[in-house]
Chains A and B, each alone.
Chain A
Amino acid sequence: MEKKKEVYGSVPSQKKHRISNKITNFFISIYGIFQFIKRFFKEAWRPPYEVSEIIKQCYNVGYRSLALISLTGFIIGIVFTKQSRPSLASFGATSWLPSLIGIAVIRALAPLITALIAAGKIGSNIGAELGSMKVTEQIDAMEVSATNPFKFLAVSRILATTLMLPLLSFYTAFIAMIGSFFNVHANESTSFTAFFKDAFIQISFLDLNASIIKALVFGFTIGVTGCYKGFNATKGTEGVGRAANEAVVVSMFLVFIEEMLIVQVVNYLRGM
């Protein structure tokens, strides 16, 4: 078992309940996740490609998070605009609102917020689904029926989250801008075209690329973490809950770290 389990990047279980052990376990899962990523890159290229499964998972990812993302994006657009207005107004610069919002949303908010929502909705879902498949031996059943479960279940989900997060974060950005437009239009009676022209004028090619790369990285992280936690769920229904929960916590943590690193790199590039 020990040796077999390695293929999913798992590591020997530790005694639980102590803080030092919790921290150790955390780093063990980071190590396990790296092993998992290695396996992903090894297997993703090899045929057969699970095209229909990937499409199904892409649909799931979009479908599950769309409502929440729409609502959150819209509210963030409005609230952010409302909150920014007083400080800009004190300089008499409320006309800068569209471009300020444009920069904030596209550079920073949209990918991050989309990733956090996806971690909560999709990451936990993947963790729970694969976790329950693991503890009820469905993954073993797949393996003995000569289907590679890593490929069928994990690779397809990881590809789906990676491909869908950029799309979803563009969608978030768009909805947030719409929300912001409503507020700006109501207060400053800016026209639709003027608003969007102002909003995008400050956005550089670098910003756009950085956003896409961020979203790709976040999506990959969420997919990998969810699958890793699911595949390594331990026996029992309690393990399923834990897998879902840890998938969310670990992927949110990683998303923040990656956000920080990517911002550093992008700011360095911007300065060149």
Chain B
Amino acid sequence: MNKEEDIIIAINDVEKSFNGISVLNGITINIHKGENVAILGRSGSGKSVLIKIIAGLLLPDKGSVHVLGMEVNTLNARELQQLRLKIGFSFQSSALYDSMTVKENLQFPLIRNKRHLTGKEVNEAINNVLESIGLLDTLHKMPAELSGGQRKRIGIARTLILNPEIMLYDEPTSGLDPITCVEINHLIKHVQEQYNTTSIIITHDLTCAKTTADNIAIIADGKFVSQGKFNEVFHTADKRVKGFYDYNFITMK
């Protein structure tokens, strides 16, 4: 599985600062085809910035990002657009289009990027994806009428609808109840298994990390301080890593 040519996302020594304040400071990671990687880190540690750099929404100050063999920050507009068709990005804030209904939100990427689809096929795709997140009844609602968790799920559905090769989930389970969390975790796993999708899952939720991810990477002080399988990572002595573990299970003690 871990062959060189299998590398889908290659990030090498990426640095990024805002107004002189360093956020990322030497991020390096390789992600292979069909692999789910969970990225954990404290609030403000630059997780969202990192996946925005992967999707080409932000430019790194230094270092290189290769996605599907292409260096993201050297692509022209058309190439970037082609690449983005293969990347699904589910935003931490959901980022649903306020002025459109749920249905219009979901069909927006479809009818604009797959112009050959018939109306019936579009509707079918929308129904399928809504069913998989359990929100069929919201079809004609406006985003403002949905709860935060529902918005989050629609946001994920909107990115899944194009069947991307790479999924970037920014905190897919934050603000959801435990039952919905489990459903979303299943969905992430299901997407990986069915379509051999490569995913990055940003999360604070260890259950989510453990159930959805093959590998875990922990970000602190702008770097990955620990990478590997769930058990390996949480058996290291690093305090910054331990802190996560302790917090997540503190209520059980």
Contacts and interface: CB of A to CB of B under 8 A. Distances in A.
Contact of B58 (A4, A132, A146): A4
Interface residues of B, number: 27
Contact of B81 (A1, A4, A146): A146
A144 B55 contact: yes
Interface string A128-165: 01001100111011111111100000000000000000
A146 B97 contact: no
A144 B113 contact: no
A3 interface: yes
Interface stretch (B86-94, B120-128, B221-229, B230-238): B86-94
A3 B59 contact: yes
Contacts of A137: 91, 93, 95
B245 interface: no
B112 A140 contact: no
Contact of A1 (B58, B87, B158): B58
Interface of A: 1-4, 129, 132-133, 136-138, 140-148
Given A3-B59, A146-B84, A140 B109 contact: no
Interface in B50-102: 52, 55, 57-59, 77, 81-82, 84-85, 87, 89, 91, 93, 95-99
Contacts of B159: 145
B59 A141 contact: no
Interface of B: 18, 52, 55, 57-59, 77, 81-82, 84-85, 87, 89, 91, 93, 95-99, 108-109, 112-113, 158-159, 162
Contacts of A141: 89, 91, 95-97, 158
Contacts of A1: 18, 58-59
Given A1-B18, A1-B58, A3-B59, A144 B87 contact: yes
Given A141-B89, A146-B81, 12 more contacts: A1-B58, A2-B59, A133-B98, A137-B91, A137-B95, A140-B52, A141-B91, A141-B97, A144-B89, A146-B109, A146-B113, A147-B113
A129 B93 CA distance: 17
B112 A138 contact: no
B68 to A, nearest CB: 14
8 contacts: A1-B59, A3-B59, A138-B96, A144-B55, A144-B89, A146-B84, A147-B109, A148-B81
B91 A4 contact: no
Contact of B93 (A3, A136, A143, A147): A136
Given A1-B18, A4-B57, A145 B97 contact: no
A143 B109 contact: no
List the 8 shortest-distance A-B pairs measured between CB atoms, nearest first. A141-B95, A137-B95, A145-B109, A144-B89, A146-B84, A146-B81, A146-B85, A3-B59
Contacts of A132: 98
